[in-house]
Structure 1
Amino acid sequence: MPLTIAAEPAPLETDADGVVRVGKTRVTLDTVVSVFKQGTTAEEIAYRYPSLKLADVYATIAFYLQHQQDVEAYLANRQQQAQAIRRQTEAKFDPQGLRDRLLARKADQEAC
């Protein structure tokens, strides 16, 4: 019987927020690419994230290697979005002010 070869699409799906996830999991493309770039093997990635299938990890790495410029642009955009959200949050909720209020509350509780 001859082997039928057919290309399969990458196991990547974009959710409603524009985040690319691997397979039917909550693991993001950002996560897989980040740990891969740190030298983690596909097997180690699948072990760290048990919801991922090993084949999906390999397919995601292959997609990244074949579309590196596009993926890097996507990752840079996601990083910019994260920084903007962080700045908004810190402007709304001053982290130092919060720490001071928590320490003051703790001191008041210990005094009682």
Structure 2
Amino acid sequence: MGEITVDFVAKDPWQMVLVEEGPWHDVSLKLTKLQQRLYSCLDAAIDGQLAEQFPESRGKPVTLRVDCYGVPREEMEEFFGRFSSSALQLPDYKASLEASPHVSGIQFAINFS
């Protein structure tokens, strides 16, 4: 697995936070890169990289949160809605999450403030 860029990790509850700042000149490219970061975070939570670095997170639910500052809101909300409703429905992710001892569940959140 490649390097994962998480801007920070919060606990109580456990959150992997990605910060996206605008302005964005190439929205499509930025959303593609964000999608890659989100999948890397899913992999890190499910495969145990998060639990390895933060042992107290093992077996707990994790939220993948994107904090947005100056990004195109409509495009971001549309993208994030699609991603958060479908990523864990993909057969490989669904099965891996169900079998993972590292995380008990994954939620998604987006913040524009």
Same fold (TM over 0.5): no
TM-score w.r.t. the length of structure 2 is 0.27
User: Could you say which structure has the higher strand fraction?
Assistant: 2
User: Could you say which structure has the higher helix fraction?
Assistant: 1
TM-score w.r.t. the length of structure 1 is 0.27
